[in-house]
A and B are shown apart, each in its own frame.
Chain A
Amino acid sequence: MALLSIKNLKAKINETEILHGINLEINPGETHAIMGPNGSGKSTLASVLAGKPGYEVTDGEVLFNGKNLLEMPPEVRAREGMFLAFQYPVEIPGVSNTNLIKSAVNEIRKYRNLEPLDAFDFISMIKEKAAMVEIEQSFLNRSVNEGFSGGEKKRNEVFQMAMLDPVLAVLDETDSGLDIDALRIVANGVNKLRRNDNAFLVITHYQRLLNYIVPDYVHVLYKGRIVKSGGKELALELEEKGYDWIKD
């Protein structure tokens, strides 16, 4: 059974239809990349999957682990194992990174009928995952994303992803605003999380990220539809030719 199965998904925001019927299947162990020019609906797809308020699904179906994803409130989607790495992570004054991640980990454990993580296990887990994305301990005591640089925010997203160990991670333009070093750190973090029982959906405008996170499949999203799918070589072709040849 596919981990994620999207059929004829249509969605609108403020009465404007953005997604005009998306079809996509993702199996465990796979990494899919979605590319496309600005305004093609890439971030809308990520938002609809995560259940962001303001987006209205008008048609189609999304099954996640065989369950109807669209009926779940955002927090239940997360507890079911869906993670969205945000393009623009918000700042949350007064709430420390540690506090946020502790609440999140324990909410998800509760949903799966597990006891809250004890303090000792939690700390050793935090240390391990923080090292993976080269995050310092002091960083964890700071308020979530407050005063973080663009690179720090993105690393924090991948750190949270590592802590929550999702079944499906959606990365929404995680490469935007990153210099080459930060990009490598973020990509390495993601690669370490890839297993044959989870999957990744990497949304990006540029091929560059896909040199580091090598996808199994590449899809081109244009004007709210997937107009072309292929292997990783499709990304290189797009890099070379641009998006214009797709548009015709």
Chain B
Amino acid sequence: MCIDATAWRRFVGAALVGAALAAGCLAPVMAGADATAKIDNFTFEPATLTVKTGTTVTWINEDDIPHTVVATNKAFRSKALDTDDKFSFTFTTPGSYEYFCSLHPHMKATVVVQ
């Protein structure tokens, strides 16, 4: 069988999406799933995000001002995120991770990893 690279990538991508969707139907919050947090109006939303171990959390900055995402226990630290920039971190260890913006430290939130 002859298949070009683009088609192959499309096939693999579709298969992965399918697998993810199927898995998602079985377990709404599961290891390896993704979660999103947003930064808007100098606030991290949600204030507390609860995820399963193995989850990759992606933050997106929707403000007109740069922010950072920094764990107080130093587990993760983003560069400054300009408007629409994203930062992702995969949580492999259960626990409660308090984080803040190092530029505007009154901005605080928590990720709880179960």
B partners with A: no
